[in-house]
Protein backbone atom coordinates (compact mmCIF):
# COMPACT_ATOMS: atom_id res chain seq x y z
CA UNK A 1 0.00 0.00 0.00
CA UNK A 2 1.62 3.25 -1.16
CA UNK A 3 -1.23 5.73 -0.66
CA UNK A 4 -4.42 5.96 1.36
CA UNK A 5 -6.85 7.86 -0.84
CA UNK A 6 -10.18 6.11 -0.48
CA UNK A 7 -11.69 3.29 1.52
CA UNK A 8 -12.69 1.76 -1.81
CA UNK A 9 -9.00 1.15 -2.54
CA UNK A 10 -8.41 -1.10 0.46
CA UNK A 11 -9.69 -4.56 1.35
CA UNK A 12 -11.35 -5.55 4.61
CA UNK A 13 -8.15 -7.36 5.57
CA UNK A 14 -6.01 -4.30 4.91
CA UNK A 15 -8.38 -2.23 7.02
CA UNK A 16 -8.30 -4.77 9.84
CA UNK A 17 -4.49 -4.82 9.65
CA UNK A 18 -4.48 -1.08 10.23
CA UNK A 19 -6.82 -1.47 13.19
CA UNK A 20 -4.66 -4.27 14.62
CA UNK A 21 -1.55 -2.14 14.18
CA UNK A 22 -3.29 0.73 15.97
CA UNK A 23 -4.11 -1.62 18.85
CA UNK A 24 -0.48 -2.74 19.06
CA UNK A 25 0.68 0.85 19.00
CA UNK A 26 -1.69 1.65 21.82
CA UNK A 27 -0.12 -1.06 23.96
CA UNK A 28 3.39 0.02 23.00
CA UNK A 29 2.88 3.68 23.72
CA UNK A 30 0.94 3.20 26.94
CA UNK A 31 2.62 4.24 30.15
CA UNK A 32 6.16 5.53 30.02
CA UNK A 33 7.04 4.83 26.36
CA UNK A 34 5.12 7.54 24.53
CA UNK A 35 7.35 7.71 21.52
CA UNK A 36 8.66 5.07 19.13
CA UNK A 37 11.76 5.50 16.94
CA UNK A 38 10.22 3.77 13.94
CA UNK A 39 10.01 6.70 11.49
CA UNK A 40 13.15 8.53 12.56
CA UNK A 41 14.63 10.46 9.63
CA UNK A 42 11.40 10.36 7.62
CA UNK A 43 9.53 13.55 6.78
CA UNK A 44 5.77 13.89 6.94
CA UNK A 45 4.19 17.04 5.55
CA UNK A 46 0.74 18.17 6.57
CA UNK A 47 -0.58 20.05 3.56
CA UNK A 48 -3.82 21.74 4.60
CA UNK A 49 -5.82 23.82 2.14
CA UNK A 50 -8.71 23.98 4.60
CA UNK A 51 -8.83 24.94 8.23
CA UNK A 52 -8.93 21.91 10.44
CA UNK A 53 -6.85 22.28 13.53
CA UNK A 54 -8.09 19.05 15.06
CA UNK A 55 -7.24 16.83 12.09
CA UNK A 56 -3.90 18.53 11.57
CA UNK A 57 -2.97 18.17 15.24
CA UNK A 58 -4.00 14.53 15.18
CA UNK A 59 -1.74 13.74 12.21
CA UNK A 60 1.02 15.85 13.71
CA UNK A 61 1.06 14.00 17.01
CA UNK A 62 0.78 10.66 15.21
CA UNK A 63 3.88 11.44 13.14
CA UNK A 64 5.79 12.80 16.11
CA UNK A 65 5.04 9.79 18.27
CA UNK A 66 6.71 7.73 15.55
CA UNK A 67 9.69 10.13 15.62
CA UNK A 68 9.09 11.45 12.10
CA UNK A 69 9.99 15.05 11.21
CA UNK A 70 6.81 17.03 10.68
CA UNK A 71 6.29 20.08 8.51
CA UNK A 72 2.99 21.89 8.51
CA UNK A 73 2.00 23.75 5.41
CA UNK A 74 -1.23 25.68 5.52
CA UNK A 75 -2.23 27.07 2.16
CA UNK A 76 -5.69 28.33 2.97
CA UNK A 77 -6.49 31.59 1.29
CA UNK A 78 -3.72 31.25 -1.27
CA UNK A 79 -4.81 31.11 -4.89
CA UNK A 80 -6.40 27.68 -4.63
CA UNK A 81 -8.99 28.67 -7.20
CA UNK A 82 -6.23 29.17 -9.75
CA UNK A 83 -5.55 25.45 -9.63
CA UNK A 84 -1.83 25.37 -10.29
CA UNK A 85 -1.17 26.01 -6.66
CA UNK A 86 -1.83 22.40 -5.64
CA UNK A 87 0.71 21.15 -8.15
CA UNK A 88 3.26 23.87 -7.39
CA UNK A 89 2.90 23.51 -3.65
CA UNK A 90 3.18 19.73 -3.80
CA UNK A 91 6.29 19.93 -5.94
CA UNK A 92 7.87 22.37 -3.52
CA UNK A 93 7.21 19.94 -0.68
CA UNK A 94 8.58 17.10 -2.73
CA UNK A 95 11.77 19.09 -3.26
CA UNK A 96 11.99 19.48 0.50
CA UNK A 97 12.12 15.70 0.81
CA UNK A 98 8.62 14.74 1.92
CA UNK A 99 8.21 10.99 2.34
CA UNK A 100 4.50 11.33 2.97
CA UNK A 101 2.07 14.15 2.27
CA UNK A 102 -1.07 14.35 4.35
CA UNK A 103 -3.50 16.44 2.36
CA UNK A 104 -6.72 18.19 3.29
CA UNK A 105 -8.30 20.01 0.36
CA UNK A 106 -11.72 21.49 -0.49
CA UNK A 107 -11.79 19.82 -3.93
CA UNK A 108 -13.04 16.24 -4.19
CA UNK A 109 -10.33 14.09 -5.74
CA UNK A 110 -7.44 16.40 -4.81
CA UNK A 111 -5.62 13.55 -3.04
CA UNK A 112 -6.15 11.27 -6.04
CA UNK A 113 -4.72 13.92 -8.35
CA UNK A 114 -1.69 14.32 -6.15
CA UNK A 115 -1.09 10.56 -6.10
CA UNK A 116 -1.81 9.84 -9.75
CA UNK A 117 -0.78 12.90 -11.75
CA UNK A 118 2.93 12.20 -11.52
CA UNK A 119 3.58 15.56 -9.84
CA UNK A 120 5.20 14.00 -6.77
CA UNK A 121 6.56 10.65 -5.64
CA UNK A 122 5.64 10.74 -1.94
CA UNK A 123 3.01 8.60 -0.26
CA UNK A 124 -0.28 10.49 -0.16
CA UNK A 125 -2.71 10.28 2.72
CA UNK A 126 -6.14 11.75 2.17
CA UNK A 127 -7.11 13.77 5.23
CA UNK A 128 -10.39 14.86 3.67
CA UNK A 129 -11.03 15.91 0.08
CA UNK A 130 -14.09 18.02 -0.57
CA UNK A 131 -17.24 15.95 -0.25
CA UNK A 132 -15.50 12.76 -1.30
CA UNK A 133 -13.72 10.83 1.47
CA UNK A 134 -11.99 11.01 4.80
CA UNK A 135 -10.60 7.49 5.13
CA UNK A 136 -8.65 7.88 8.39
CA UNK A 137 -11.83 9.15 10.08
CA UNK A 138 -13.63 5.97 9.01
CA UNK A 139 -10.74 3.84 10.27
CA UNK A 140 -10.68 5.57 13.63
CA UNK A 141 -14.44 5.19 13.90
CA UNK A 142 -14.17 1.48 13.15
CA UNK A 143 -11.38 1.23 15.73
CA UNK A 144 -13.61 2.94 18.30
CA UNK A 145 -16.54 0.65 17.50
CA UNK A 146 -14.28 -2.36 17.81
CA UNK A 147 -13.12 -1.29 21.24
CA UNK A 148 -16.74 -1.22 22.42
CA UNK A 149 -18.08 -4.32 20.73
CA UNK A 150 -15.03 -6.63 20.64
CA UNK A 151 -11.41 -5.48 20.38
CA UNK A 152 -10.41 -8.28 18.01
CA UNK A 153 -13.60 -8.43 15.93
CA UNK A 154 -12.95 -9.25 12.29
CA UNK A 155 -16.58 -9.34 11.33
CA UNK A 156 -19.03 -6.54 12.14
CA UNK A 157 -22.12 -8.39 10.92
CA UNK A 158 -23.78 -8.38 14.32
CA UNK A 159 -23.78 -4.57 14.30
CA UNK A 160 -26.60 -2.32 13.20
CA UNK A 161 -25.27 1.18 12.53
CA UNK A 162 -27.10 4.41 11.71
CA UNK A 163 -25.39 7.34 10.01
CA UNK A 164 -27.54 10.43 10.39
CA UNK A 165 -27.40 13.87 8.78
CA UNK A 166 -25.92 15.65 5.80
CA UNK A 167 -24.92 12.61 3.75
CA UNK A 168 -24.81 14.61 0.51
CA UNK A 169 -21.93 16.84 1.61
CA UNK A 170 -20.21 14.43 4.00
CA UNK A 171 -16.86 12.84 3.25
CA UNK A 172 -17.07 11.18 6.66
CA UNK A 173 -20.28 9.45 5.65
CA UNK A 174 -18.87 8.21 2.32
CA UNK A 175 -15.80 6.70 3.97
CA UNK A 176 -17.70 5.24 6.90
CA UNK A 177 -20.46 3.65 4.83
CA UNK A 178 -17.87 2.04 2.58
CA UNK A 179 -15.69 0.76 5.43
CA UNK A 180 -18.40 -0.44 7.82
CA UNK A 181 -20.16 -2.32 5.02
CA UNK A 182 -16.83 -3.82 3.96
CA UNK A 183 -16.43 -5.10 7.51
CA UNK A 184 -19.89 -6.64 7.39
CA UNK A 185 -22.02 -4.20 9.40
CA UNK A 186 -25.57 -3.28 8.43
CA UNK A 187 -25.47 0.47 7.79
CA UNK A 188 -28.61 2.58 7.51
CA UNK A 189 -28.42 6.13 6.20
CA UNK A 190 -30.87 8.61 7.71
CA UNK A 191 -31.41 12.13 6.39
CA UNK A 192 -34.01 14.43 4.89
CA UNK A 193 -34.43 13.67 1.16
CA UNK A 194 -32.59 16.86 0.18
CA UNK A 195 -29.42 15.67 1.91
CA UNK A 196 -29.37 12.19 0.43
CA UNK A 197 -27.35 12.12 -2.81
CA UNK A 198 -29.05 11.19 -6.06
CA UNK A 199 -27.42 7.87 -6.91
CA UNK A 200 -27.14 6.55 -3.34
CA UNK A 201 -28.78 3.30 -4.49
CA UNK A 202 -25.40 2.02 -5.63
CA UNK A 203 -23.98 2.26 -2.13
CA UNK A 204 -25.94 -0.77 -1.01
CA UNK A 205 -26.99 0.90 2.24
CA UNK A 206 -30.71 1.21 3.03
CA UNK A 207 -31.77 4.79 3.62
CA UNK A 208 -34.62 6.31 5.55
CA UNK A 209 -36.15 9.74 6.03
CA UNK A 210 -37.39 8.76 9.48
CA UNK A 211 -34.92 8.81 12.38
CA UNK A 212 -37.42 7.39 14.88
CA UNK A 213 -38.61 4.33 13.00
CA UNK A 214 -35.73 1.98 13.93
CA UNK A 215 -34.08 4.11 16.57
CA UNK A 216 -34.17 1.38 19.24
CA UNK A 217 -32.51 -1.12 16.88
CA UNK A 218 -29.15 0.56 16.42
CA UNK A 219 -25.91 -0.42 18.17
CA UNK A 220 -24.16 2.67 16.89
CA UNK A 221 -25.66 6.05 16.07
CA UNK A 222 -23.22 8.22 14.16
CA UNK A 223 -24.29 11.86 13.94
CA UNK A 224 -22.85 14.06 11.20
CA UNK A 225 -22.08 17.72 11.44
CA UNK A 226 -24.66 19.88 9.70
CA UNK A 227 -23.70 23.32 8.48
CA UNK A 228 -26.40 25.81 9.27
CA UNK A 229 -25.63 27.66 6.02
CA UNK A 230 -27.28 24.76 4.17
CA UNK A 231 -30.64 26.28 5.05
CA UNK A 232 -29.77 29.23 2.81
CA UNK A 233 -29.58 26.77 -0.09
CA UNK A 234 -33.02 25.39 0.90
CA UNK A 235 -31.77 21.98 1.98
CA UNK A 236 -33.99 22.44 5.05
CA UNK A 237 -36.07 25.36 6.34
CA UNK A 238 -34.16 26.16 9.55
CA UNK A 239 -32.21 24.69 12.44
CA UNK A 240 -35.26 24.08 14.61
CA UNK A 241 -37.00 21.97 12.02
CA UNK A 242 -33.79 20.08 11.30
CA UNK A 243 -33.29 19.28 14.98
CA UNK A 244 -36.86 18.11 15.40
CA UNK A 245 -36.49 15.65 12.54
CA UNK A 246 -32.88 14.60 12.70
CA UNK A 247 -31.27 15.84 15.91
CA UNK A 248 -30.22 13.46 18.67
CA UNK A 249 -32.06 15.03 21.59
CA UNK A 250 -32.71 13.61 25.05
CA UNK A 251 -35.94 11.88 24.08
CA UNK A 252 -34.23 10.03 21.26
CA UNK A 253 -31.20 9.30 23.45
CA UNK A 254 -33.50 7.63 25.97
CA UNK A 255 -34.88 5.30 23.31
CA UNK A 256 -31.50 3.87 22.29
CA UNK A 257 -31.00 0.23 23.03
CA UNK A 258 -28.83 -0.75 26.00
CA UNK A 259 -25.16 -0.70 25.10
CA UNK A 260 -25.65 1.54 22.07
CA UNK A 261 -22.97 4.19 21.52
CA UNK A 262 -23.20 7.70 20.08
CA UNK A 263 -20.48 8.94 17.73
CA UNK A 264 -19.71 12.27 16.10
CA UNK A 265 -16.65 13.18 13.99
CA UNK A 266 -16.58 16.69 15.44
CA UNK A 267 -16.70 19.55 15.64
CA UNK A 268 -20.22 19.29 17.03
CA UNK A 269 -22.99 21.81 16.59
CA UNK A 270 -24.54 21.37 20.00
CA UNK A 271 -28.24 22.04 19.84
CA UNK A 272 -28.45 21.39 16.13
CA UNK A 273 -27.63 17.80 15.21
CA UNK A 274 -26.87 16.76 18.78
CA UNK A 275 -28.10 18.10 22.10
CA UNK A 276 -25.59 18.94 24.81
CA UNK A 277 -26.98 16.16 27.01
CA UNK A 278 -26.50 13.59 24.24
CA UNK A 279 -23.01 14.83 23.47
CA UNK A 280 -21.96 14.55 27.10
CA UNK A 281 -23.90 11.40 27.98
CA UNK A 282 -22.35 8.12 29.04
CA UNK A 283 -23.20 6.73 25.58
CA UNK A 284 -21.12 9.34 23.81
CA UNK A 285 -17.67 8.18 22.67
CA UNK A 286 -16.73 11.48 21.05
CA UNK A 287 -13.67 12.06 23.24
CA UNK A 288 -12.43 8.51 22.64
CA UNK A 289 -12.74 9.08 18.90
CA UNK A 290 -10.23 11.90 19.21
CA UNK A 291 -7.62 9.85 21.07
CA UNK A 292 -8.17 6.85 18.83
CA UNK A 293 -7.57 9.16 15.87
CA UNK A 294 -3.93 9.56 16.81
CA UNK A 295 -3.41 5.79 17.12
CA UNK A 296 -5.06 4.99 13.82
CA UNK A 297 -3.10 7.70 12.01
CA UNK A 298 0.10 6.34 13.53
CA UNK A 299 -0.86 2.93 12.15
CA UNK A 300 -1.50 4.37 8.69
CA UNK A 301 1.80 6.26 8.62
CA UNK A 302 3.57 3.19 9.90
CA UNK A 303 2.09 0.96 7.19
CA UNK A 304 2.60 3.38 4.33
CA UNK A 305 6.13 4.35 5.24
CA UNK A 306 7.07 0.78 6.03
CA UNK A 307 8.57 0.95 9.50
CA UNK A 308 10.37 -2.04 11.02
CA UNK A 309 8.48 -4.89 12.64
CA UNK A 310 6.64 -3.60 15.67
CA UNK A 311 7.54 -6.66 17.71
CA UNK A 312 11.21 -5.78 17.38
CA UNK A 313 10.75 -2.07 17.75
CA UNK A 314 8.92 -1.92 21.01
CA UNK A 315 9.57 -5.28 22.51
CA UNK A 316 6.62 -5.17 24.89
CA UNK A 317 3.73 -6.89 23.21
Binding stretches for other proteins (CB under 8 A): 8, 80-84, 86-87, 105-110, 112-113, 116-117, 129-133, 171, 174, 197-203
Give me the catalytic one of 8, 34, 40, 54.
54
Task: Specify whether 134 is catalytic.
Answer: yes
**The Cα angle at residue 252 between residues 249 and 257, in degrees rounded to 5:** 135
| DSSP-derived pairing of the beta strands 261-263 and 220-223 | parallel
CA distance 21 to 13: 12
Task: Specify whether 55 is catalytic.
Answer: yes
Tell me how far, at minimum, the Cβ of 112 lies from other proteins, in Å.
Answer: 4
Q: Closest CB to other proteins among 117 and 158?
A: 117
Task: Specify whether 2 is catalytic.
Answer: no
Distances (CA, A) of 216 to 12, 123, 261: 28, 43, 12
Question: DSSP letters of 177-244?
Answer: HHHHHHTT-EEEEE--GGGS-TTGGGG---EES-SSTTGGG-SEEEEPP--GGGGGGTSSS-HHHHHH
Q: Closest CB to other proteins among 197 and 265?
A: 197
φ and ψ at 248, to 5 degrees?
-90, 95
Secondary element (H or E) of residue 46 = strand 43-48
Give me the catalytic one of 56, 105, 134, 225.
134
Q: Closest CB to other proteins among 128 and 293?
A: 128
Tell me how far, at minimum, the Cβ of 127 lies from other proteins, in Å.
Answer: 15
Tell me how far, at minimum, the Cβ of 84 lies from other proteins, in Å.
Answer: 6
Tell me how far, at minimum, the Cβ of 197 lies from other proteins, in Å.
Answer: 4
CA distance 114 to 94: 11
Task: Specify whether 8 is catalytic.
Answer: no
Give the up-direction half-sphere exposure of residue 15: CA atoms within 13 A in the CB hemisphere: 31
Task: Specify whether 113 is catalytic.
Answer: no
Q: Closest CB to other proteins among 199 and 312?
A: 199
| DSSP-derived pairing of the beta strands 69-74 and 100-105 | unpaired
CA distance 124 to 116: 10
Q: Closest CB to other proteins among 21 and 175?
A: 175
Tell me how far, at minimum, the Cβ of 205 lies from other proteins, in Å.
Answer: 11
Give me the catalytic one of 55, 131, 136, 144.
55
- The set of catalytic residues is 54-55, 82, 104, 134
Amino acid sequence: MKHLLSIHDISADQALDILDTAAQLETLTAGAVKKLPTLRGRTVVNLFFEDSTRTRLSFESAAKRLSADVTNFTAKGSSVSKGESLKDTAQTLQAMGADAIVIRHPASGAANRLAESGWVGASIINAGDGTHEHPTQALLDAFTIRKHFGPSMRDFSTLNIAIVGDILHSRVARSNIALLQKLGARVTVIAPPTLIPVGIESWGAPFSYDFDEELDQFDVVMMLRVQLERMNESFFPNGREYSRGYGLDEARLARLKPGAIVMHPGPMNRGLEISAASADSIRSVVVEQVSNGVLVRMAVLYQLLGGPDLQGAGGAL
